[in-house]
Structure 1
Amino acid sequence: MARTHTPRSHLSVLHTSASRFASSPAFYVPQTLSESGDVASWKPISYIQFLHDVELFARHWAHVLKLDGIPRRSVIGMWLSGMTYVDVLHIYGLSRAGYIPQLFSIRLPNPDVVYELLSRANACALLVDPSFEGLLKSCPIPTHRAATTVYDIDSHDMPLPSLPTLRERDTVFIFHTSGSTSGIPKLVPCSSSWLDSAITKSHQIAMPSGRTKRNQDVTVWMGSMCHIAQTFMLLGSLQHGACTVQPSRQAFSSNELSLMIRDCGVNRLNQFATFLAQHLRNSRQNPRLLALLQTLDDALYSGLALPREEEEWAHGNGIRLRNLFGSTECGAMLLSTRGPEMFLQPLDGMSYAFVPVASQSEAGTSQGGHSAPLLELVILAESPDCPDNSLRAADGHFHTGDLFQEIRTGCYLSKGRDDDWIKSENSLRCDTKAIEDNIRATCCDLVAECVVVGNGRPSPALFIETNSDLPQPKLKREVLRRTRQFHSRRYLHERIASADMIVIVEKGSLPRTATKGNVRRRVTEEAFRTVLDKIYGTEWTGTT
């Protein structure tokens, strides 16, 4: 009889790596800050110290939650920044204590929505970042303040709980979709077998390049551990004994990046495309920054496509780009080939299908000049990374909604999505149609037509053709007043919360399709690029 595979977890990966790479640094954490708020110096945390710290936090939370009468395998909400070493200790420590973390990022600042999601997951307690304590009113479950330093944690001299024994279908984490559907994100439960597939995929992506003889790869925090991207990338780094540098913020400056490369030995840069594009632009005027970027073994970006001009310039100047395509529900799915073409290819060991979409009206032309059909990426039910049944379609598969063209056998180009979702600068999703529908429902006497844009921007912008004779400032204030309740339930990157994000244009001036007369979102974004640049105060960094 064949032996069943015991799923690996983040905890088993940590234990293995702490044994193999005990004295190597697992993290560089900030030690001093400059006047600008950038990190000026870092200190190392070894793999064995990381393991000991996780076990310290496990003892602490096992004691605290036992006093609350909460049994192991219960869901515990965690409302954290996810950007610090201590946040990792809370997440891993809670898992090590035998609980299931339900992860909320600080980009979801509405406590009512958090409470609703906690209820849907049957959560029994909430650990909260101190910055959110003031928002917690009438929380229906026990709340506990998350420590901000290791020294704030007391092990209570408790014995270390036994390692959780997990079956393939047992839930290990609960994330949330990065955009709201019907006013609230969806739960994304991650099973033990799904996490095992993420470990397999992240091992492929984090494999050392072998280009230079190094004892250790060093990379940079990609985003919040409360979202899947950094959770996934850390799994890969740990397996290869790599070190992760904690920056001052997600959109760290080029000066801080230069310091991380020089002082911490960063040789692999993992960033969302919007932030990487800023470094590429800065390097055009900064030969020293360009020289440092050229030393990197890998400049991996995700979330959005880089503007073609930036991509071509990087290739032409010896920067080793790779594009990683993924989602909250599945983690990473496709990785680009190296070189100027950068075609995307499925990761090994998964089962995907690329299915022709029903409408081919927007089919484009491939790089070879030949028309190619649009294909939707579908994660088949038998694929190890197919998400929870609650997220699958009636056919049992997971339909991503992401469109591609096959340029040659097994090589694909991303062509956007088949729906009305856009991605913000940090690659979180926003349902533009939901905003537009709310505008039409609440402001039909003021708005003749509207469209929401902002791909690759910090938040969406609203363009309005008006029915009203109201002066523009008063019209904008009225639209904001009527839609305030709707936006209060949404992530920060989904909100239109300022009159600066509303643009009034002449009736009939928004670009439309020739047949149905629908406003064309992407064409609007391109036509009003200068206006948008002025609104956001930055150069455009969205997709082309």
Structure 2
Amino acid sequence: MSCKTHLTVLQDKAALYPSAPAFLVPELSSESDKVQAWTPITYSQFLADVELAARYWTATLAGLGLPRHAVIGLWLGGMTYTDVLHIYGMARAGYVPQLFSLRLPNPDVIYELLQRANAKALVYEASFAPIVTDSPLPIFIAANIYDADVDAVPLPPLDEEVNPDDTVMIFHTSGSTSGSPKLIPCSYSWLKTIVEKAAHVSKPHNFERQDVTVWMGSMCHIAQTFMLIGALQYGSCTIQPTQIAFPSDELLDMVHRCRLNRLNQFATFLAVHLRNSRRDPKLLAVLQGLDEVLYAGLTLAREEEEWAYQNGILLRNLFGNTECGAMLLSIGGKDEDSSYLRPIEGTAYDFCPTDPTPEGDAAYENVNARLLELVIRSDSGDCPDPSLRQADGHYHTGDLFLEVKDGCYVFRGRDDDWIKSENSLRCDTKAIEDNVRSTCGELIAECIVVGNGRPSPVLFVEPMGDVPAERLKKDIIRRTRHFHSRRYLHERITSTAFVVVVPRDTLPRTATKGNIRRKAVEEQFKAELDQIYGVAA
């Protein structure tokens, strides 16, 4: 059978919207890092460039005698139009891209993952040349495709018959406690469902004009891959920012000069704009005027979310993971009810109660606060590769929710957010972290709660400023005292002995979204934790 893919979507839309801009790429001023102009790249040019990249890689790899559908590693930053051409071009040439991001600095990890996927070659960004040494596979630099004379190189037909279970691309999880990510092989049938879900997420609010959105993250990860597939289906335009955490003045520029009307960002980066809008009326007005402000990756701090709702910003919450792409989506709007997550149309999910039942959630007092794990059923088109499923044949995400209304959910963290104390009682670390962020937001840059298998939890914080550590600890305990007074004894943090202050950017994070890795913190600071519990037991 032939399957709908990102490549067939591009071909169809290039025929339908040939002169519409598919991308806007920044040209930086020679005197500063400011954007001098935004250069449009049309749909017809994008398609032609992808086919040029495909011919380039077909010719370049020809000497290896590789069969069709061979796996080729692509180690790229994933944040530029050129990166998209290499990724799409490799697939158009008939190969299977295995995608690595800029944030995997150890080539040994790359080589191990290439071997696991039975890859036949590695293509890498030129800036990585000093560290790409002793490769077990043939290596190629992701060079300038426009210099190649490859017009006569043939390409395989796009409508060829494929096995729906065959792998079309390979992603990786952003981290693991073993120090090596997991392979996420993606089949043609899985990709077909991704295309369908992306169409649902990216549906325009106004079909009378072209939607303009902005790059969300690296194309070597599922989030931006998903969002670009959605944008292409409606002939929308995607802006390439100067950096993933683009500043608020660049956001204003994208709205005014590029006509951006839909902002898609990870919550961490969106929160910066929301905070800035409190003191910048022009920025607030711009956020209020957007058709949609979609955030993903993390939940917004309650304070930021409430500020947005109170000021008429149309928030929309998207929940997903690497294995399945986007899974749950809120309807979007100006109040908290509109933030509740619902399964995306066409999926087949179960929400299975966990055991034991935890204490009720204070934020949702009128509901039965049972924790429910999101399970992707095997008959759902986005259920990941069988190698990732559990013994029952389904994919258990480990993501926990509360059902606050019939069919409406609130994310309550991952299964490992609910650590177990030494007496096997569960502790909701996410609730503690949310309270610290809301009561001590101007004091801390980031925080995380650990203590799995310990008598009680410990809070690690990275400070916002230069407040002395002991004073910061006392301020945190004072401000959170009321919250902890209502929690079980094994969930409380009521002494400065159980607050650890570390320098900014010390806590280990995931590569994709910058999430702090709870288990990695437990491992990295094991000696400190042993000392805390030994002294304060």
TM-score using structure 1 length: 0.78
Q: Distance in 1 between matches of 2:369 and 2:152?
A: 64
Indicate the residue corresponding to 1:296 in structure 2. 290
- Residues 1:397 and 2:380 aligned together: no
Indicate the residue corresponding to 2:80 in structure 1. 84
Amino acid aligned to 1:333: M
Indicate the residue corresponding to 1:268 in structure 2. 262
- Residues 1:65 and 2:34 aligned together: no
Q: 8 Å contact 1:335–1:347 — kept in the other structure?
A: yes
Q: Give matches, 1:301-312, under 5 Å.
A: 301-312=295-306
Q: What is the deviation of 1:157?
A: 3.5
Q: Give matches, 1:124-135, under 5 Å.
A: 124-135=120-131
Q: How many residues align?
A: 464
Q: Structure 1 pair 240/317, CA: closer, same or farther in 2 (3 Å)?
A: same
Q: What is the deviation of 1:291?
A: 1.2
- Which 5+ residue runs of structure 2 have no aligned equivalent? 421-428, 438-443, 452-461, 507-513, 517-537
Q: What is the deviation of 1:99?
A: 0.1
From 340, 358, 366, give the equivalent of 2:355: 358
Q: What is the deviation of 1:408?
A: 1.1
Indicate the residue corresponding to 1:480 in structure 2. none
From 370, 373, 377, give the equivalent of 2:370: 373
Q: What is the deviation of 1:182?
A: 1.9
- Residues 1:346 and 2:343 aligned together: yes
Q: What is the deviation of 1:313?
A: 1.1
Indicate the residue corresponding to 2:146 in structure 1. 151
CA offsets, 1:421-443, max 9 Å, x none? 9xxxxxxxxxx99xxxxxxxxxx
Q: 8 Å contact 1:365–1:371 — kept in the other structure?
A: no
Q: Structure 1 pair 460/277, CA: closer, same or farther in 2 (3 Å)?
A: closer
Provide the secondary structure at the position in 2 that maps to 1:95.
helix
Amino acid aligned to 2:156: P
Q: Give matches, 1:470-509, under 5 Å.
A: none
Q: Distance in 2 between matches of 1:311 and 1:454?
A: 16
CA offsets, 1:112-166, max 9 Å, x none? 010000000000000000111111111000000002x553444264233333542
Q: Structure 1 pair 379/33, CA: closer, same or farther in 2 (3 Å)?
A: farther
From 99, 113, 138, give the equivalent of 1:142: 138
Amino acid aligned to 1:188: I
Q: 8 Å contact 2:264–2:294 — kept in the other structure?
A: yes
Q: Give matches, 1:308-457, under 5 Å.
A: 308-339=302-333, 340=335, 341=337, 342-365=339-362, 367=364, 369-419=366-416
Q: What is the deviation of 1:395?
A: 0.4
CA offsets, 1:455-498, max 9 Å, x none? 9999998999xxxxxxxxxxxxxxxxxxxxxxxxxxxxxxx9xx
Greater mean alpha carbon deviation, residues 389-398 or residues 27-36: 27-36
Q: 8 Å contact 1:307–1:542 — kept in the other structure?
A: no
Provide the secondary structure at the position in 1 that maps to 2:227.
helix
Q: 8 Å contact 1:300–1:321 — kept in the other structure?
A: yes
Q: Structure 1 pair 536/102, CA: closer, same or farther in 2 (3 Å)?
A: closer
Q: What is the deviation of 1:48?
A: 0.5
Amino acid aligned to 1:195: L
- Residues 1:535 and 2:529 aligned together: no
From 208, 211, 216, give the equivalent of 2:210: 216
Amino acid aligned to 1:264: C
Indicate the residue corresponding to 1:234 in structure 2. 228
Indicate the residue corresponding to 1:444 in structure 2. none
- Which 5+ residue runs of structure 1 have no aligned equivalent? 422-431, 434-450, 465-495
Q: Structure 1 pair 280/36, CA: closer, same or farther in 2 (3 Å)?
A: farther
Indicate the residue corresponding to 2:253 in structure 1. 259
Q: Structure 1 pair 328/513, CA: closer, same or farther in 2 (3 Å)?
A: farther
Identity fraction in percent:
53
Greater mean alpha carbon deviation, residues 284-293 or residues 73-82: 284-293
Q: Structure 1 pair 290/513, CA: closer, same or farther in 2 (3 Å)?
A: closer
- Residues 1:98 and 2:98 aligned together: no
Provide the secondary structure at the position in 2 that maps to 1:383.
coil
Q: What is the deviation of 1:66?
A: 1.0
Q: Structure 1 pair 409/99, CA: closer, same or farther in 2 (3 Å)?
A: same
From 153, 168, 173, give the equivalent of 1:177: 173
Indicate the residue corresponding to 1:107 in structure 2. 103
CA offsets, 1:325-355, max 9 Å, x none? 0000000000012231211000001000000
CA offsets, 1:370-389, max 9 Å, x none? 34211000000100000000
Q: Structure 1 pair 206/514, CA: closer, same or farther in 2 (3 Å)?
A: closer
Greater mean alpha carbon deviation, residues 371-380 or residues 54-63: 371-380
Q: What is the deviation of 1:276?
A: 0.5
Indicate the residue corresponding to 1:203 in structure 2. 199
Amino acid aligned to 1:406: E
Q: What is the deviation of 1:209?
A: 1.0
- Residues 1:20 and 2:19 aligned together: no
Q: What is the deviation of 1:309?
A: 1.2
Q: Distance in 2 between matches of 1:523 and 1:47?
A: 59
Amino acid aligned to 1:357: T
TM-score using structure 2 length: 0.79
Amino acid aligned to 1:379: I
CA offsets, 1:375-431, max 9 Å, x none? 00000010000000010000000001111111111001111111159xxxxxxxxxx
Q: What is the deviation of 1:365?
A: 4.1
Q: 8 Å contact 2:171–2:222 — kept in the other structure?
A: yes
Q: Structure 1 pair 306/461, CA: closer, same or farther in 2 (3 Å)?
A: closer
Q: Structure 1 pair 59/364, CA: closer, same or farther in 2 (3 Å)?
A: same
Q: 8 Å contact 2:56–2:145 — kept in the other structure?
A: no
From 6, 11, 15, give the equivalent of 1:10: 6
Q: What is the deviation of 1:295?
A: 1.5
CA offsets, 1:7-28, max 9 Å, x none? 2111110111111111100000
Q: Give matches, 1:244-255, under 5 Å.
A: 244-255=238-249
Provide the secondary structure at the position in 2 that maps to 1:251.
coil
Q: Distance in 1 between matches of 2:218 and 2:74?
A: 12
Amino acid aligned to 2:367: H
Q: Structure 1 pair 24/170, CA: closer, same or farther in 2 (3 Å)?
A: same
Q: What is the deviation of 1:319?
A: 1.1
From 27, 38, 47, give the equivalent of 2:43: 47
Q: What is the deviation of 1:179?
A: 1.5
Greater RCO, CA 8 A, separation 6+: 1
Amino acid aligned to 1:381: S
CA offsets, 1:298-337, max 9 Å, x none? 1000011111111111111121110000000000000012
Q: Distance in 2 between matches of 1:180 and 1:255?
A: 36
Indicate the residue corresponding to 1:491 in structure 2. none
Greater mean alpha carbon deviation, residues 94-103 or residues 351-360: 351-360
From 152, 155, 166, give the equivalent of 1:160: 155
Q: Distance in 1 between matches of 2:152 and 2:49?
A: 14
RMSD after superposition: 3.5
Amino acid aligned to 2:346: G
Q: 8 Å contact 2:262–2:291 — kept in the other structure?
A: yes
Provide the secondary structure at the position in 2 that maps to 1:400.
strand
